[in-house]
Amino acid sequence: MLTRQRKQHILSVLQRDGNVVAKSLSEELGLSEDTIRRDLRELAAEGLLQRVHGGALPVAPAEADFAGRLQLATAEKVAIGRAAARLVRPGQVVLIDGGTTAVQMVRHLPTGLRATVVTHSPSVAVELAGHAGIEVVLIGGRLFRHSMVAVGAAAMDAISRIHADTCFLGVTGVHAEAGLTTGDVEEAAIKRALMAAAAETVVLASSEKIGAASAWVIHPVSAATSLLVSPEAPAAALAPLRKAGLAILRSDGG
């Protein structure tokens, strides 16, 4: 790999993850940490990143693009997205729900992975534009503005014609008794359809969703296969969910 490409790669990873770690980069690229450190030093000298102990950060610490854009993804959501991306096996057909965590997930799908992604979120679809190995199927319908996903009869109909391996679902509440919940009735219906169309369902939930409940019930928690949370999620809140039949998966780091 050419030096110039390596530096470009570092900047890409930085933009994708919001930070880079010298050690991880050296392992990923198969080079000594010295070389990585030199690169980081030079990139910092060019003002392309901000050097910190152990790695580097973006020059302008991640800020929301502008009104209406994707909300700032927290480190926790990035970690959950990355962990979810690792669950996708080559050749699988996966359903991916909308939301910021879902966008993080597809952003972290390994380059070179060949799979099919079905989504009703145009944001997720756009994010996959540059991912050559992924076949993308878009579910159409009326766009529900708040969360930017297709809903309505057309979407329901399209989803009903699919049998996927895994559904990666975002929710606004996971509660042992209230079940999986969300804030909009149309969205709830779509999410229910997505779950029905996949053999397994992995629920992606940042810690504030654990133990919370919103207005519209999608399904009891037992309808999902597993729950992917970050280490930040309190173990106490997870115990009743595990008892309800959910396999708890932990992402690394927060």
Residues in touch with its own copies (CB under 8 A): 2-5, 8, 19, 21, 52-55, 57, 61-62, 65-69, 120, 122-123, 125-126, 128-130, 132, 135-143, 145, 148, 150, 154-155, 158
> Using the rule CB under 7 A, which residue among 8, 32, 71, 160 binds DNA?
32
Whether the CB-CB separation of 5 and 29 falls below 8 Å is answered with no
Shortest spacing between CB 8 and its own copies, in angstroms: 7
> Using the rule CB under 7 A, which residue among 54, 90, 91, 253 binds DNA?
54
Rounded-to-integer distance, Cα 193 and Cα 25, Å: 40
23 versus 89: smaller Cβ distance to its own copies = 23
- Can you tell me whether residue 174 is helix, strand or coil? strand
Residue 148 near which of its own copies, DNA, none (CB within 5-8 Å, type-dependent): its own copies
Residue 22 near which of its own copies, DNA, none (CB within 5-8 Å, type-dependent): DNA
> Using the rule CB under 7 A, which residue among 8, 12, 27, 38 binds DNA?
38
Shortest spacing between CB 59 and DNA, in angstroms: 16
Length of the chain: 254
CA proximity to 105, closest of 170, 186, 195: 170
The backbone region for 236, taken as left when phi is positive above 0, alpha when psi lies in -120 to 50, beta otherwise, is: alpha
Shortest spacing between CB 131 and its own copies, in angstroms: 8
Rounded-to-integer distance, Cα 201 and Cα 163, Å: 12
User: Which residues on adjacent β-strands are paired with residue 57?
Assistant: 50
Would you list the DSSP string of 218-243? EE-GGGSSEEEE-TTS-HHHHHHHHH
- Can you tell me whether residue 71 is helix, strand or coil? coil
Residue 112 near which of its own copies, DNA, none (CB within 5-8 Å, type-dependent): none
Shortest spacing between CB 23 and DNA, in angstroms: 5
19 versus 166: smaller Cβ distance to its own copies = 19
Shortest spacing between CB 252 and DNA, in angstroms: 15
Query: Does 51 sit near DNA (CB under 7 A)?
Result: yes
> Using the rule CB under 7 A, which residue among 9, 35, 58, 92 binds DNA?
35
Rounded-to-integer distance, Cα 145 and Cα 125, Å: 16
- Can you tell me whether residue 46 is helix, strand or coil? coil
Instruction: Name residues whose C-beta falls within 8 Å of residue 105's C-beta, 6 or more positions apart in sequence.
Output: 80, 81, 82, 84, 85, 96, 168, 204
Q: Which amino acid is at 136?
A: V
Whether the CB-CB separation of 111 and 183 falls below 8 Å is answered with no
> Using the rule CB under 7 A, which residue among 27, 28, 33, 208 binds DNA?
33
Query: Does 163 sit near DNA (CB under 7 A)?
Result: no
Shortest spacing between CB 95 and its own copies, in angstroms: 13
Applying CB under 7 A, which residues contact DNA?
A: 3, 6, 21-23, 30-35, 37-38, 41, 51-55
